[in-house]
Amino acid sequence: MNFKLEEAVEVLERTPRTLETWLSGLSEGWLRSNEGEGTWSPVEVVDHLIEGERTNWLPRLAFLLEEGESKPFPPFDRFAHLGRGEQSLTRKLAEFQAARAESLAKLKTLLDPERDLERTGRHPSFGAVKARELLSTWVVHDLTHIAQIVRVMAERYRADVGPWTAFLGILKK
């Protein structure tokens, strides 16, 4: 196992600023592009990350620490963000930044890493899961969605790169 709470927090606290540096001011062509019907644009990925702060990560951790395995985590809707309004990306990124900062502040008060990382809750599909597993998943979930944004953006130039497509792993289907 590689998980250390302080290293996990290093990644979690960087994600909003990284997305801001990367996406702020990009043309709509990059921001609204997707990988085809039913797939998300970079802006929709940001919406999804905001929704996760509100309903998924910290709420589930608090539930696990409170209820243990006695009750399964309440379900949440992975597509809830698709109904979100048309704020500007700048507003969305600021909202994500604030929501993440709040989650990490709560994490500090809720969790004692010496005592709580191996405590378990009940996932509605998987059964028993550990606090450590939930926190590791939070980190990898950020990384998954950074990877998704990169992939969506690369896809836009699939035809433009011409013969180089052979050398660009990210364009492999």
Q: Does 32 bind a second copy (CB under 8 A)?
A: no
Q: Does 147 bind a second copy (CB under 8 A)?
A: yes
Q: Residues with Cβ < 8 Å from 25, sequence gap 6 or more?
A: none
CB of 6 to a second copy, least distance (A): 8
Nearest to 18 by CA among 149, 107, 106: 149
Residue from 5, 12, 26, 71 touching a second copy (CB under 8 A): that is 26
Nearer to a second copy, 106 or 130 (CB): 130
Q: Does 163 bind a second copy (CB under 8 A)?
A: yes
Residue from 53, 123, 124, 173 touching a second copy (CB under 8 A): that is 123
Q: Does 119 bind a second copy (CB under 8 A)?
A: no
Which residues here bind a second copy, judged by CB under 8 A?
A: 1-4, 6-7, 10-11, 14, 17-18, 20-22, 25-27, 29-30, 123, 126-127, 129-130, 132-134, 136-137, 139-141, 143-144, 146-148, 150-151, 153-154, 156-157, 159-164, 167-171
